A and B are shown apart, each in its own frame.
Chain A
């Protein structure tokens, strides 16, 4: 029987309850959404005791389902002001699932603001809260070392932790999750969830899964057969079988740049003249030359293996990846064309505990104000280390992200939707991704509906990226599918194969059926995606989000982006059509507004 473990930080009590029947078909994003939707009042202060921070493995977490160990974290976001699900790799989702935990919910807030706690869930399921006040202000890597010492002979465990930014309540603070080697380098980055964790006085969580088997299946043989089918499809598809494992996510730099959609120097151009210096091809060459690892999974059970480690000139580990999004945000968007500079910034973000995307967008905006030159990698690093890490007055403004920074320094081009910075694709020459940025309940988020597939990569069909036609429909389908994958606990990169290989899609519901013993089919998967989005939309509506919030900033409609001189031209009516299914799904679910 799966359980929900609740830890109330107001009185340090721990409660365990069975996963209610009404949520028995939920996991990952659907479950974090359901708990926030039902239990966090839309009026709650995101950094107050009414907010809840929920960690949930997906429906397939803890199994051998390929790429099925992703982690969802949910809360009301201090950055967007709306509901948030942030997603990461790392070992924590498998550990939670093996511990039988469908959701770990952190509630309340301690009266003593100086208290720091470590929550430890032992392999027998017992929960212990330990004061670690001496870790106040420590970076994620130091916390990771501290936990290692504390654990002694216990070797198999996953960590979840925050750096100083989360403790200071900065709106771009993320949460670090340990990878298979124990590095705290996988990130629940977006939406300021690190600040929510900090507001609850929780510095770190340790989940011990030593000696625990993978979770049991309703029908083991059927499950294994579906796993085989799914893994074969992932290996067969050129993207998931070759492109991603060979070059990593940053293989995208050149193709997005070629398409004229690589946002450069705070979204003022779609091409970066130094792209070759920071491309995935160069990254692979340099990493290999220096003896770094260029192919591993971010969690056990990933068969695609797009992850890699960046090492310095002496071969010492610096950081993971860096991933495409981070190389773009900390590189091209800041006019920085040096991978060592980018990696140093990425490492600083990881240690301080701030989202790399929001940080790069913030830096680009700050540079646009004229206070720091575009291309000044050392100056950018100084801002992170001396201002944000130390929480100076300037650091607290920058630490609240791109919008806070742009407003404080009077920048006219502030690339955010629902207060969250735009990722690595300009929505003018790639209009499909603009629909996702504008309409996703998450704020500007590429993963929520990755229209780059059909717009640029010719995966899952083709839709002309420079035209508005068909973009709303494309984004809608992808947002629904993503809601489903995030709830299954699957890495969204499986979508590249799933969109092109029908058997791969079938294998997902076959795995779900064989694992849970519940009936799953294609329609049920899509229903799961719709229910997830419906809870998110209704929650945001209750907070007061309006159709006007589902728009891009004005400059994307007015300022032409070179080289294609494109502006965003998807109509408001098209944007408003993306969530047309919500009333019907809400009626089927029997919900109309947040609450029990």
Chain B
């Protein structure tokens, strides 16, 4: 299945294959979870905010073909 991956702020540098920009489509085996993608990317082990299709998603959330996965480090402002 194909999933759109977007990494933001300080996490941008973890995009695979030295891509520029912050989004790319990745191929994943069916049944892959959010947590597995995060481990695969080697994201730092710290609090983060994860969205699947614009909704918060826990690490055990199972991804589906066509999903958009977005990961943020802790951020705020206002």
Contact = CB atoms under 8 A, between A and B. Distances in A.
Given A238-B47, A255-B8, A466-B55, A250 B74 contact: no
Contacts of B26: none
Interface residue tally on B, bucketed by range: 20 to 34
Interface stretch (A38-46, A333-341, A450-458): A450-458
Interface in B24-78: 46-47, 49, 51, 54-56, 70, 72-78
A467 to B, nearest CB: 11
A516 interface: no
Interface string B1-29: 00000101110100000000010000000
Given A458-B49, A462-B56, A493 B76 contact: yes
B10 A249 contact: no
A146 interface: no
Contacts, number: 94
B9 A251 contact: yes
Given A249-B77, A251-B75, A281-B22, A260 B9 contact: no
Contact of A242 (B8, B10, B49, B51): B10
A258 B51 contact: yes
A459 B48 CA distance: 10
Interface residue tally on A, bucketed by range: 35 or more
Contact of A447 (B6, B9, B49, B78): B78
Given A238-B46, A259-B54, A281-B22, A452 B78 contact: yes
A306 interface: yes
Interface string A479-523: 000000000000011001000000000000000000000000000
Contact of A255 (B10, B22, B47, B72): B72
Contacts of B49: 255, 456-458
B78 A324 contact: yes
A492 B78 contact: yes
Given A246-B10, A281-B9, A493 B74 contact: no
A564 interface: yes
A462 B74 CA distance: 13
Contacts of B8: 254-255, 258, 281
A306 B77 contact: yes
B78 A243 contact: no
Contact of A238 (B22, B55, B74, B77): B74
Interface in A325-379: 325
A258 B54 contact: yes
A237 B47 CA distance: 11
Contacts of B54: 258-260, 429, 563-564
B75 A457 contact: yes
Contacts of A320: none
B12 A281 contact: yes
B71 to A, nearest CB: 10
A252 B78 contact: yes
Contact of B75 (A239, A429, A492): A239
A459 B75 CA distance: 9
Contacts of B70: 258
A429 B56 CA distance: 12
Contacts of A250: 77
A457 B18 CA distance: 28
A221 to B, nearest CB: 33
Contacts of A238: 46-47, 73-74
B51 A458 contact: no
B77 A251 contact: yes
Contacts of A306: 77
Nearest to A254: B8
Interface in A202-256: 237-239, 242-244, 246-252, 254-255
Given A246-B9, A258-B54, A259-B54, A324 B73 contact: no
Contact of B74 (A252, A259, A457): A457
Contact of B76 (A258, A259, A281, A459): A459
A306 B78 CA distance: 11
A46 B33 CA distance: 58
A254 B72 contact: yes
Contact of B77 (A237, A259, A324, A458): A324
A280 interface: yes
A387 B17 CA distance: 51
Given A258-B54, A258-B70, A281-B22, 17 more contacts: A239-B75, A242-B73, A243-B9, A243-B74, A246-B10, A247-B75, A249-B77, A249-B78, A251-B77, A255-B8, A258-B8, A260-B54, A276-B22, A281-B8, A462-B56, A493-B76, A564-B55
19 contacts: A237-B74, A242-B74, A243-B74, A243-B75, A244-B77, A247-B75, A250-B77, A251-B75, A251-B77, A252-B76, A254-B72, A255-B49, A323-B77, A450-B78, A458-B49, A458-B74, A492-B78, A493-B77, A563-B54
